[in-house]
Structures are given as C-alpha cells and as structure tokens.
A = this chain, B = another copy of it.
C-alpha cells in the first residue's frame, strides 16, 4: 500500500518504521529532513511538501508536535488538503485539539476524503515496541479500512466515536494522569518531610487502593531523584492546556486539572520543560522553600 507519513520525530519515526517493515511503500515529509534518514535509507520516498505526500499516497498519517503544526500541515500552504490525488483517508496521530480534528474532518469530507483523529498513549517505548494504545475518532468505515495499519503500530486499538472522539479520549487519559501525579508527588513529599523512606512507602502504598502505574514507576524515579523524561513536561502542559480550553468551551470547570496545570507551568519556569512529568515534585518542593 502507498502510505504517506508526515512527522518523523521520536514517536513518528518508530511508528512509520513498523509500517515500512510490514512491506508498505512510504512517502515521507518532515520539517527536518535529517530525522527521516533511517526511513529513506530503507527505501522510503522523500517528498518536499505535505501536499506532495498526499498526491502520492492512498492513506496519509501525521504525527507532529503541537496543534499549530497540525493546522499548518493540513490547512497551510502546500498542506495535505491542498492536493488532489488518490488519497482516501487522512489520520492525525498527534495529541491535538478536538475542535481542530472536527474542522479538518469537515473540510476533508467536502473533498471526499475521510479523516480520523487517532492520538496514542504509551510513549517512545510503546512506539518502538508497537504496544501503543490508539484512540480513534471519525468515520467508522474509514476506521475499518485502516484498522489493519493501526494493528501494526499498537496493541490496544479503540474506535471511540465521531470526529474528535479520539482526541477527547486522550484528554481523559491526561486528566487522569494529572490527578494521579499530584497525588504521587504530594504523598512522597509528605513521606520525605516526615522522615519516612520513600521506597519503603511505595512498597506498601503501591499495592491496594492507592496503587497506580504512576506511583510504581514515576514514584520510584522520584525516590531516586531521577527526573529523566519518559514524557516531557512541556508536552504535558500542552495536553492539559487543550483539555482546559475544550472544557471551558463546554462550560465545564475542572479545578483539579487547573491546579496541576498551573504547577506544571511552574516546573517549566524552573527550567524543567524537557524533564519528565515526575518533575512536578520539584515545583512542590520549590513551593515549600525546599529547592
């Protein structure tokens, strides 16, 4: 199958690589060509613009950074939707704005192209090992047509409903992590302030009703003062910002999320935008005159 891929960063490079390894012909565009080199060396065709990708491909995937990048790649000059060609389905796997996903779906539909929003969770390791969770919104028929491609990149693939529903599901995931992370960090801060051994505390509270992936993985890193990124603070700030914007548009107040978002802005202000999300601990320490 002739497949277009736009965005060959840490995640995109691995995901596109799985499609290539499965025998598909790739047509690739990235802002920095250098990052696409491994795919090109394995036989992918370089395209000078997103529209050139669309012109050559039956199905186009995008995995870029921020909603503004999604907007540019789809709707900008030489964007995906400016090209005619054989393209039938376009799929944005970036975590982006649900309302943008809906706009793109409408514009695409008017050109006879079906659009899917399909953000993922699982991080760079999930991308490398093809174990991503993929949350899909859009037209069911289009989903059924490309499901076999999702299966190559991920483990848990869920069709969630109409355009934007994939992005909304990803927002649910991020809102849940935000709450869990404030619990993890405040719990371990209290532990360290009261003289408890953080690892011994995790050994016991990491089972039972308080247990979570975050306490048992990121909590352990906090105990080691290891703030290396699994997922960047600045990307998490982006995601929470999208959720808060969308919630406000729906007249929905989410006070916990708003608080955590503010604290993460503080983490970034401390120079930790490219640290892992467990660096929330540093904002709480800072707030307590302990940093």
Contact = CB atoms under 8 A, between A and B. Distances in A.
A288 interface: yes
A187 interface: yes
Pick from A135, A180, A284 the residue with the most CB of B within 10 Å.
A180
B212 A182 contact: no
A204 B169 contact: yes
Given A189-B254, A243-B190, A256-B186, A213 B204 contact: no
Contacts of A176: 183-184, 186-187, 205, 210, 212, 215
Interface of A is mostly: helix
B184 A172 contact: no
A2 to B, nearest CB: 30
Contact of A256 (B193, B196, B211, B259): B259
A259 B259 CA distance: 9
Interface in A93-110: 98
Interface residues of A, number: 75
Nearest to A137: B196
Given A173-B205, A205-B169, A184 B193 contact: no
24 contacts: A98-B194, A121-B208, A133-B208, A158-B204, A161-B195, A161-B197, A162-B195, A164-B194, A169-B204, A173-B208, A176-B186, A176-B210, A179-B179, A179-B187, A182-B183, A182-B256, A183-B256, A194-B250, A212-B213, A253-B288, A255-B259, A255-B263, A256-B256, A256-B259
The 9 A-B pairs of least Cβ separation, nearest first, read: A179-B183, A212-B212, A182-B256, A176-B187, A175-B187, A176-B210, A168-B194, A179-B182, A173-B205
